[in-house]
Amino acid sequence: MTDQQKIDAMYKQQAEAEAAYQAEMEAMYQAEKEILYDDVPNITAENNIEFSTEIPETVFEELNRSTSEKTADISQEYVKDTTEKTFDIDQDEKETDNSDKKSEIPTFDLEHSDIEELVDDEEDIKKIRKVADEFTQDILTGKRYTSLSDINSDILKMVEAENLAELIKQEETDYTNNSDIMNVLFELADDHENAEAQNIIGVCFATGKNVSISEKDAVSYFERAAEQGHSGAARNLAILLENSKDGDKSKIAELYKQAADNGDKYALNNLGVCYMSGDGVKKNQKEAIRCFEKAAKTGDDYAIVNLADCYYVGNGIKRDPAKAFRLYLQAADKGNAEGMRSAAECYFEGNGTKQDINKAVSYLKKAAELGDVKAQQRYNELSEKITLKKHNEVSAETTPKKSKLSSILERGKQTAENDLKNSEKSKTISAENNKSR
């Protein structure tokens, strides 16, 4: 066979290959036509596409544009969903006591299958371990009462209602129902050295109830009442000094002990924290446990949580996660947000109880709704993870047909380009052979 015949045969073979390729692409196009019409907006049944060695770039542009638009729509939908279903956390609230604050948030329902996948990979396990470590560190600091408004709420309500008869049991002055309550209290406190009245006025100065806030005056009235053995005043003075950050720790512990000896549950709890951390007293974990146990028997939820913490890590007592968990539940039943969050961590870890992610999320949500900032942060992390998971699932459902079509078009384009290169190469060989003749 001559060189010319070889070249002619090559051209013929090339032409047959191109014809076969076009036939194959036409068949694939027909098979995928419905997909193309559904997912590429501007291509309709009237727009017949000729598959040749050059596939129109507009097809790829339309395909990419459609995919981008749908992905953007999905992202916007789920970003909106996440925004609506997470807790707003005020930066200032992180450094304050929010035990009495509640967050109004829409319900975020986590399906069982979603929740189970929260701990299905190594990264999630690491995150849970990190939270557990932070939880343990938080345990070691102890929970103490710091808000005078909270623990003296009954007094403040009676002052608000001007219920003097309930505030002062001893009638040491003449007053009528129309008497100004603060004038009567000052008369009792200053002229009659009534310890109860002195404690009430101290609370008013400390919280700004009916008078301007004055720490100096609050300290003065609390001290006068405490000197007469008023346990509430001694405890209030200790808290006020402790909140000032520059108070004498030894004096604070002594005041807590004075009130605790008279059975004040708030003082018992805070004295236990002093013994646990060594603030103002020699560190004594066993004495701390005794204080927590005594206060817990009165139903004090802070003391119950602190006692549970000790059992959880074995702080001053034999470690017993199961007992710690039961105490956390007891505090949670009393409405204590920290008890709820701690119970949630036990359920997450399976520590002290059987692991139950559903119950963990349930307790975490309750704590978050009560204003517990750490619970809100944790809950938001979980809700964002679930939202992302659902986003990815929806994205996967909308893209398979596009991926298949895109693969077909890309394959066709690549084959056509290769055929074109081979054709150009053949022509070059032919030209060089003719030239050599």
- The full 3-state SS of 334-358, as one line of letters, equals CCCHHHHHHHHHHHHHCCCCCCCHH
For residue 409, name the pLDDT band (cuts at 50, 70, 90): low
More confident residue, 45 or 90: 90
More confident residue, 224 or 28: 224
For residues 303 and 338, give the distance between their C-alpha atoms in angstroms, rounded to a whole number.
Answer: 11
pLDDT reported for residue 99 = 42
Does position 180 have pLDDT exceeding 90, yes or no?
A: no
**pLDDT digit string, tens, across residues 334-386:** 999 999 999 999 998 899 999 998 999 999 999 999 999 989 988 888 877 77
How many helices (H) and strands (E) would you count in the chain? Answer: 20, 0
Torsional sign, CA 215, 261, 295, 194? negative
Exposure string of 312-325, with b = 16+ CB inside 10 Å and e = fewer, is bbebbbeebbebbb
For residues 343 and 351, give the distance between their C-alpha atoms in angstroms, rounded to a whole number.
Answer: 10
Does position 35 have pLDDT exceeding 50, yes or no?
A: no
Residue 414's Cα: distance from chain center in Å?
49
List the structure tokens of 178: 């129309």
Can you give the pTM of this predicted structure?
0.62
pLDDT reported for residue 17 = 73
Average the pLDDT over 195-200 and give the result. 95
More confident residue, 55 or 291: 291
For residues 349 and 355, give the distance between their C-alpha atoms in angstroms, rounded to a whole number.
Answer: 6
> What is the DSSP code (8-state) at residue 177?
T
For residue 47, name the pLDDT band (cuts at 50, 70, 90): very low
Does position 254 have pLDDT exceeding 50, yes or no?
A: yes
Give backbone dihedrals phi and psi of 361, rounded to 5 degrees, phi first: -65, -40
pLDDT reported for residue 226 = 97
Does position 290 have pLDDT exceeding 90, yes or no?
A: yes
Does position 248 have pLDDT exceeding 50, yes or no?
A: yes
Does position 67 have pLDDT exceeding 80, yes or no?
A: no
Average the pLDDT over 114-127 and give the result. 53
pLDDT reported for residue 307 = 96
CA dihedral of 50, 51, 54, 56, whole degrees rounded to 10:
60
For residue 91, name the pLDDT band (cuts at 50, 70, 90): very low
Does position 241 have pLDDT exceeding 50, yes or no?
A: yes
Average the pLDDT over 60-70 and give the result. 46
The owner of tokens 């809100």 is 376
From 272, 240, 276, 279, select the one nearest 257 (Cα to Cα). 272
For residues 99 and 331, give the distance between their C-alpha atoms in angstroms, rounded to a whole number.
Answer: 13
From 301, 219, 206, 286, select the one nearest 252 (Cα to Cα). 219
pLDDT reported for residue 38 = 45
Average pLDDT over the chain, rounded to an integer: 75
Distances from the Cα of 118 to the Cα of 318, 390, 392, angstroms: 32, 13, 15
